[in-house]
Amino acid sequence: MTDPAPWWKTAVVYQIYPRSFADSNGDGIGDLRGIIDRLDHLQWLGVDAIWLSPFYPSPMADFGYDVSDYCDVDPVFGNLDDFDALVDACHTRGLRVVIDWVPNHTSDQHPWFQASRSSKDDPKRDWYVWRPRNPDGSPPNNWVTSWSEDGAPAWTIDPVTDEWYLHLFLPQQPDLNWRNPGVVEAMHDVLRFWLDRGVDGFRMDVIHLIGKAEDLADDPEEFLPLPHVVLNHEPSCLPLVEGIRSVLDEYDGDRMMVGEIGLLDTSMVADYYVDGRGMQLAFNFPPLYAPWDTLFWRPNIDAVATHIEPKGWPAWVLGNHDNPRQATRYGSEERSRAAAFLLLGLRGTPFLYAGEELGLADAEVPAERVVDPGGRDGCRAPIPWDSSDDHGWGPDPWLPWPPEIDLRNVAAQVDDPASIANLYRRLLAARRSSAALQVGSQAMLDSPDSVLGWDRAEGPERFRFLVNLGPDEADVSSLVNGWEVLVDSLETDHGPAPDTVLSADHAMLLRPAAG
Ligand code: NOJ
């Protein structure tokens, strides 16, 4: 008998951005108790695990991705007792808990950086990346920081010692120096702190950045002003990843790490699996950036099969707290519905961003309410829980509401069998009850240009997916003969016989026809 698949291969992981998910104390900012209060929704939906974006103490220059203490909870989200209660509540319901770990940089308010900046002789000086001034005043290299429209340098002079420090993101997020063994040890201990508290895994923020070329060589001119974040593919990262994995392997229970690999090339993303000794999962972003067109989707799916499959288990992500939501990117509810079949149907572990199951679009954020330096407020709008005046929140949430709130709130969608939330629920239920849909093989089909078609199979079980990404109807008669409809993207109660013509943006999950 073969071993059962580890939980992270069969699971669907639901991403919670704590500030925006649920507010238990009415201060307008989501918190850990709020999440506990809303776990019923996740069980109703049928996901298997949650990933929590950072909830650590932070000055919030990057809303928690600037950590000032890795081993505590920011008071705005609660405290460690609340965290323990959340882990217990999830585990009692059979939900796994994955937390964010931010290894590339700390906040500039972290005591490590405060010590490091204090003097060139401080024992923690080398925990960050410092370089002296050049005689001509130029920064140490041509690396560009993130979210800079004008190619601003990834370096800032610190007045205390009059030297440059590296920050691939905001100046308030100095990069740690992973060449220093003290950093490696301290960050491994952070993992142990949370593993001891029972977490099932980590989403590792921009993990591909922790290895940096020893000479910090310039980026090739032709790539500028792309930020260094999408260019840093450095072999010295891989042994560091192996070291991190060995910490997880000290614990029983299949503790999992999923790497955020911000590179634009799937063959590079595959390297971070380190042939079974590295990440168990790696985010591969090209499908998230792909327009709604098979011209882009086909090569992206092929690239996963060619590059990821031989090295590890794929992860699929079509939305997160850094990118416009699917409804905003793709432009219609029909497409958001069809995208659910891609996310949940392609072979690999899906990561579903909270609110995608409601078909939320980005909020319109007027200039005076913009708070994120990276322009990502729209996709971080609060989750509306019901149609009441405050939608289950305090009177004044930290960001404006997303559009169509009376239609796109949890209570309204749970009650409406035709809602996108109920569509997600049907797909998740189908997936949960079938090894073929969770871990089965995948074979792409010959299909009309605008249609993506693939089969999933395991033992005697078989399923077929058809998704039309085109603006016109497509003839799929040759692909539906002998099959019946299990889930239809547009109809709640489709009869068993599939349509031979797939309308624009229409998707179907089929199973072999009975008899
Ligand atoms: C990626 C995270 O997803 C993003 O929100 C954050 O701003 C950067 N990493 C920096 O930590």
Q: Which helix (H) or strand (E) holds 21?
A: helix 18-21
Annotated catalytic residue 455: no
Distance 17 CA to ligand 1 centre (A): 12
Whether 227 is covered by a domain: the verdict is yes
> Distance between CA 452 and CA 100 in Å, rounded?
33
> Distance between CA 45 and CA 57 in Å, rounded?
31
Q: Residue 473 is part of a domain; what is its CATH number? A: 2.60.40.1180
Q: Does residue 317 sit in the same domain as residue 269?
A: yes
- Write out the two tokens for 489: 């993207």
Q: What is the DSSP string of 343-356?
A: HHHSSSEEEEETTG
Is residue 205 within 6 Å of ligand 1 at its C-beta? Answer: yes
In the prediction, which pLDDT does 4 show? 85
Annotated catalytic residue 205: yes
* Ligand 1 site-directed mutation target among 206, 260, 323, 380, most atoms within 8 Å of CB: 206
- The residue whose C-alpha atom lies closest to atom 4 belonging to ligand 1 is 322
Which numbered atom of ligand 1 lies nearest the CA of 320?
3
Q: Does residue 120 sit in the same domain as residue 85?
A: no
Whether 476 is covered by a domain: the verdict is yes
Is residue 128 within 6 Å of ligand 1 at its C-beta? Answer: no
Which numbered atom of ligand 1 lies nearest the CA of 62?
7
Over pLDDT 70: what percentage of the chain? 99
Segment 98-149, tens digit of pLDDT: 999 999 999 999 999 999 999 999 999 999 999 999 999 899 999 999 998 8
Distance 66 CA to ligand 1 centre (A): 9
Is residue 488 within 6 Å of ligand 1 at its C-beta? Answer: no
Segment 249-298, tens digit of pLDDT: 999 999 999 999 999 999 999 999 999 999 999 999 999 999 999 999 99
Distance 461 CA to ligand 1 centre (A): 40
Q: Which of 40, 250, 416, 449 is catalytic?
A: 250
Q: Which of 205, 362, 455, 499 is catalytic?
A: 205
Q: Does residue 414 sit in the same domain as residue 451?
A: no
Q: Does residue 159 sit in the same domain as residue 289?
A: no
Rg of the Cα trace of the chain? 23
DSSP structure class, residue 372: -
Whether 1 is covered by a domain: the verdict is no
Q: What is the mean pLDDT of residues 377-381?
A: 98
- What's the whole-number average pLDDT of the chain? 97
Segment 296-328, tens digit of pLDDT: 999 999 999 999 999 999 999 999 999 999 999
Q: Which of 403, 431, 459 is the last residue of a domain?
A: 431
Q: Residue 140 is part of a domain; what is its CATH number? A: 3.90.400.10
Whether 171 is covered by a domain: the verdict is no
Q: Does residue 129 sit in the same domain as residue 156?
A: yes
Q: Does residue 144 sit in the same domain as residue 204?
A: no
Dihedral over Cα of 66, 377, 421, 22: its sign: positive
- The residue whose C-alpha atom lies closest to atom 5 belonging to ligand 1 is 322
Q: Which of 370, 396, 431 is the last residue of a domain?
A: 431
Whether 16 is covered by a domain: the verdict is yes
Residue 352: half-sphere exposure toward Cβ, Cα within 13 Å = 31
Is residue 322 within 6 Å of ligand 1 at its C-beta? Answer: yes
Whether 59 is covered by a domain: the verdict is yes
- The residue whose C-alpha atom lies closest to atom 2 belonging to ligand 1 is 205
Residue 492 lies in domain: 441-512
Distance 167 CA to ligand 1 centre (A): 13
| Cα–Cα distances in angstroms (integers) from residue 317 to residues 147, 229, 288, 327, 504, in the given order | 21, 19, 6, 15, 23
- The residue whose C-alpha atom lies closest to atom 10 belonging to ligand 1 is 65
Q: Which of 379, 398, 431 is the last residue of a domain?
A: 431
- The residue whose C-alpha atom lies closest to atom 11 belonging to ligand 1 is 65
